[in-house]
């Protein structure tokens, strides 16, 4: 959960002025660990308090450094924590009154808190591990002209342990493939320069079938899936996709 924790700290730093104060506390309650990161920064307006975990959302502010990045940090943190049966909430009394982010996570059953930490990996969280872990790690190329979407998906895949490269146009895909040698290409159909179908046909013509091609598209009719298969795709995912949809493909390769 390092990524989620770091993202929460980065968010507190971004929205707190120099010489501000950030308090970090960690407590336990029954079988739950509770981590709080509280600052005296710009705060959060009541009308956007529920939006801060939405992908690509960024609060408008004049604070130096705030507003930079893709706006996916808190959204990514929330998804990762929920995968571990946890939760994150945001609190604030309003603009200028600081904010607090509280992460709650279940304590693994076979763990001793203290210097001597022992975890039974097979029983941790009582989750279906196939839903959150890819047993095999792959080299994955993500192609999408929506840069925030491409980076968010790439970041999630890296968190899962895969080696990932991203690009935002179709014309350069073959050059990237020859250099990166990916196992899988996740390819958006609606690219701005050339069609994803044409990219798939070029890959099949020049590279062959050693690479698995996954189509990303907003259209999910049977005819759309057949068109993707005819162009050379192995799999078809309809937007918006979830990381679990993609991991089902990876785990079944």
| Residues 112-152 pLDDT 10s | 444 333 333 333 333 343 444 445 899 999 999 888 778 87
**Low-confidence winner among 105-114, 118-127, 187-196 (lowest mean pLDDT):** 118-127
Under DSSP, the state recorded for 67 is T
pTM (two decimals): 0.54
Paired tokens of 81: 């924590």
- How far, in Å, CA of 33 to CA of 13, rounded? 23
Cβ atoms 5, 79 nearer than 8 A: no
CATH class, range 2-126: alpha beta
pLDDT value at residue 78: 84
C-beta neighbour count of 4 within 10 angstroms: 25
Intrachain domains 2-126 and 131-251 with the same fold: no
Place of tokens 């999408």: 144
**Domain 131-251 classified CATH 3.40.30.10?**
no
DSSP annotation string for 120-182: -GGGGGG--GGGT--SS--EEEEE-S-HHHHHHHHHHHHHTT-EEEEES-STTHHHHHHHH--
| Domain ranges across the chain | 2-126, 131-251
């Amino acid at each position: 959960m390092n990524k989620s924790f770091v993202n929460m700290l980065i968010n507190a730093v971004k929205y707190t002025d120099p010489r501000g104060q950030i308090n970090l506390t960690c407590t336990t309650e029954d079988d739950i660990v509770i981590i709080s990161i509280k600052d005296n920064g710009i705060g959060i307006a009541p009308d956007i308090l529920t939006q801060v975990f939405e992908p690509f959302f960024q609060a408008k502010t004049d604070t130096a450094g705030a507003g930079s990045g893709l706006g996916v940090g808190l959204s990514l943190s929330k998804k990762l924590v929920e995968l571990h049966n946890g939760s994150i909430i945001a609190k604030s009394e309003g603009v200028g009154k600081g904010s607090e982010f509280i992460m709650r996570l279940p304590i693994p059953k076979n763990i001793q808190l203290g210097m001597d930490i022992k975890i039974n990996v097979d029983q941790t969280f009582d989750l279906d591990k196939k839903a959150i872990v890819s047993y095999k790690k792959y080299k994955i190329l993500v192609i999408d002209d929506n840069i925030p979407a491409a980076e968010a998906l790439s970041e999630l895949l890296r968190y899962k342990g895969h080696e990932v490269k991203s690009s935002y146009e179709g014309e350069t895909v073959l050059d990237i493939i020859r250099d990166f040698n990916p196992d899988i290409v996740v390819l958006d159909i609606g690219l701005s320069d050339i069609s994803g179908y044409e990219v798939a046909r070029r890959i099949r013509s020049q590279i062959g079938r050693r690479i698995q091609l996954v189509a990303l598209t907003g259209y999910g009719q049977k005819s759309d899936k057949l068109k993707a298969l005819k162009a050379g795709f192995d799999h078809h995912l309809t937007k918006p996709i979830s990381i679990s949809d993609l991991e089902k493909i990876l785990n079944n390769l």
